[in-house]
């Protein structure tokens, strides 16, 4: 597996291109903006895009998914259906975040907890992690020991819960039951900031040690 990280939008959101090295097939996870930066990376690495995966419906994560799905003629998979209202409200989000106007669009298919999605020969397990948003999902790859977590958890922090339908207690439960249960070596690839690991967050993240000591 090869991971290309492309920071996009004024929020430096980590769009990721996940490549199966064996097959040269790839998916784009959370393309929030800067479509030219993303397509340039795809072209320079000469990978074949198979799908677009979304962790949740916030504009900085989904902003150009509708454009890229046409560019590459692929499906948009995820997040969970409870995220539907965030897609309906894309015009409002654009105003709220100070982005260019955005018309609503919808994923090709919503995903559920324990679904699996593939890029080439790599299989990722979908884990539903509500709290930051109700339909937030993460993508876990067991053999490569990594999890793409969007805005659920960051190095030393957790996702905001002050948006509509955010819920701090639910977020902490998601982190505990869906992410902290993974092996300590698992690399956490967050939507903003640096990568970390499950073990590091267990021992240093104040939101987790404070609650789960
Ligand atoms: Zn978010
Ligand atoms: Zn974000």
Give the pLDDT confidence score for residue 213 in this predicted structure: 43
Q: Which two tokens mark 12?
A: 């430096």
Q: If you measure from the C-alpha of residue 85 to the centroid of ligand 1, how many angstroms do you get, rounded to a whole number?
A: 14
| Domain range annotation of the chain | 2-212
Q: If you measure from the C-alpha of residue 22 to the centroid of ligand 1, how many angstroms do you get, rounded to a whole number?
A: 32
**Which residue intervals of 1-137 are DSSP H helices?**
35-45, 59-62, 65-71, 84-88, 90-97
Ligand nearest to the CA of 10: 2
Q: How does residue 210 score in pLDDT terms, banded at 50, 70 and 90?
A: low
Mean pLDDT of 171-200: 98
Q: If you measure from the C-alpha of residue 193 to the centroid of ligand 2, how many angstroms do you get, rounded to a whole number?
A: 10
Ligand nearest to the CA of 13: 2
Mean pLDDT of 85-89: 98
Express each pLDDT in 29-85 by its tens digit. 999 999 999 999 999 999 999 999 999 999 999 999 999 999 999 999 999 999 999
Give the pLDDT confidence score for residue 208 in this predicted structure: 86
pTM of the predicted protein model: 0.97
Question: Are the C-beta atoms of residues 28 and 57 closer than 8 Å to each other?
Answer: no
Strand-pair partners of 4: 17
CA dihedral 63, 33, 53, 173 (to 10 degrees): -80
Q: How many whole angstroms separate alpha carbon 69 and alpha carbon 67?
A: 6
CATH topology of domain 2-212: Metallo-beta-lactamase; Chain A (3.60.15)
Ligand nearest to the CA of 164: 1
**Residue 213 or residue 55, greater confidence:** 55
Give the pLDDT confidence score for residue 181 in this predicted structure: 97
Ligand nearest to the CA of 11: 2
């Amino acid at each position: 597996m090869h991971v290309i990280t492309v920071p996009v939008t004024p929020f430096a959101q980590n769009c990721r291109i996940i490549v199966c090295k064996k097959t040269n097939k790839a998916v784009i996870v959370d393309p929030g903006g800067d479509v030219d930066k993303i397509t340039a990376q795809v072209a320079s690495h000469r990978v074949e895009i198979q799908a677009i995966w979304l962790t949740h419906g916030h504009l900085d994560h989904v902003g150009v998914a509708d454009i890229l799905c046409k560019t590459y003629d692929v499906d948009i998979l995820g997040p969970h259906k409870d995220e539907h209202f965030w897609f309906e409200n894309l015009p409002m989000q654009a105003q709220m975040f100070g982005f260019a106007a955005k018309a609503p669009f919808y994923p090709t298919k919503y995903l559920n907890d324990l679904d699996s999605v593939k890029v080439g020969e790599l299989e990722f397990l979908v884990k539903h992690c509500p709290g930051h948003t109700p339909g937030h999902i993460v993508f876990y790859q067991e053999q490569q020991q990594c999890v793409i977590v969007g805005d659920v958890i960051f190095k030393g922090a957790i996702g905001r819960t002050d948006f509509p339908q955010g819920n701090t207690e639910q977020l902490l439960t998601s982190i505990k039951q869906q992410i902290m249960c993974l092996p300590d070596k698992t690399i956490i690839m967050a939507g903003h900031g640096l990568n970390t690991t499950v073990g590091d967050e267990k021992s240093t993240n104040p939101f987790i040690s404070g609650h789960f000591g």
